Structures are given as C-alpha cells and as structure tokens.
C-alpha cells in the first residue's frame, strides 16, 4: 500500500476515533485472548479471527487484545470478556465455532454462558 495513502487513512481514522474514544474507553467492552504457545497450539489465533469476524458482522465496537500464557494451558484457548460494571468472565476451550453463540449470549443478551465459563472476577471498583 502506498505510504501516503496509509498516512491519510490514519489521519482520518484518528479524527473519527477521537470523537468517541472517551466514551468507549470508559464504558466499553474488552475481549482478551490468550496467545502464549499453549494458546496458539490450541487454536487461539483462529478463535481470535472468529471473534474479529463476528464483531464485524454484528457491528459491535468492542476492543480485542491478546496476552501471553497465564498458566491455565489446559483450558486454552482462553477468552476473557470484561464489560464496565459487570464481573469479568473467563471462558475456556473456546473454539471458533463457539464464538457466535458466545458473542450473542454474553454481549448482546447480557447472559454469561455458564457451561463454558471457567472463571469470574468481581467488578472493578
């Protein structure tokens, strides 16, 4: 891609994003995917890909980030969903085909998918 076009694109994106970033950082949703060796070997990259695809399809504006190994390798791919004002939920063994239901239940309907959840952290103060 030509460098100039890239810079122009980025400038435009920056302006657009700046208008609403404050709201999103404070109230948004963050989805975190474990991307250590264990996660990668278990298919975490494909899980992340499925999450990006599903968010795009449903036009949900959530942050997606990756982290390293947290030591629960047997439960990889691990996916963590954090929403302002709600407990942070960790889901285990999340395969790409589980992602549409996860997004629908947790993000759209606001219900934790109990049978896939492996951890819960209380709401951040």
Partner 1 sequence: MRELSLHILDALENSIEAGATRIELFIEEDLKKDILKIAIKDNGRGMSEGFARRVLDPFVTTRTTRHVGLGLPLFAAAAQRCNGDLQVQSEPGVGTTVTATFQRSHIDRAPLGDMATTLMAVMLSKRPVDIYYKHSVNGRTFELDTAEMRNELDPIPLSHPRVRQWLESMLAEGLASLQRHAP
Contact code string over 64-103 relative to partner 1, x by CB under 8 A: xxxxxxxx-x------------------------------
Least distance CB 113 / partner 1 (angstroms) = 22
Buried (b) or exposed (e) across 86-124, using 16+ Cβ within 10 A?
eebbbbbbbebebbeebbeebbeeeebbeebeeeeeeee
Q: With CB under 8 A as the contact rule, which of the stretches 15-23, 82-90, 91-99, 105-113 interacts with partner 1?
A: 15-23
Helix residue ranges per DSSP H, 28-87: 37-42, 44-57
Least distance CB 38 / partner 1 (angstroms) = 8
Of the candidate residues 4, 27, 55, 81, the single one contacting partner 1 (CB under 8 A) = 55
- Here the tokens at position 42 are 């278990």
């Amino acid at each position: 891609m030509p460098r100039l076009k890239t810079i122009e694109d980025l400038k435009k994106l920056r302006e657009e994003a700046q208008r609403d970033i404050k709201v999103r950082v404070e109230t948004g949703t963050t989805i975190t995917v474990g991307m250590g060796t264990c996660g990668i070997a278990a298919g975490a990259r494909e899980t992340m890909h499925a999450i990006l695809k599903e968010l795009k399809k449903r036009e949900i504006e959530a942050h997606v980030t990756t982290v390293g190994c947290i030591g629960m390798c047997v439960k990889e791919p691990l996916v963590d969903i954090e929403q302002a004002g709600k407990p942070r939920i960790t889901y285990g063994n999340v395969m790409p085909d589980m992602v549409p239901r996860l997004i629908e239940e947790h993000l759209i309907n606001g219900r934790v998918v109990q049978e896939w959840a492996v951890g819960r952290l209380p709401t951040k103060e």
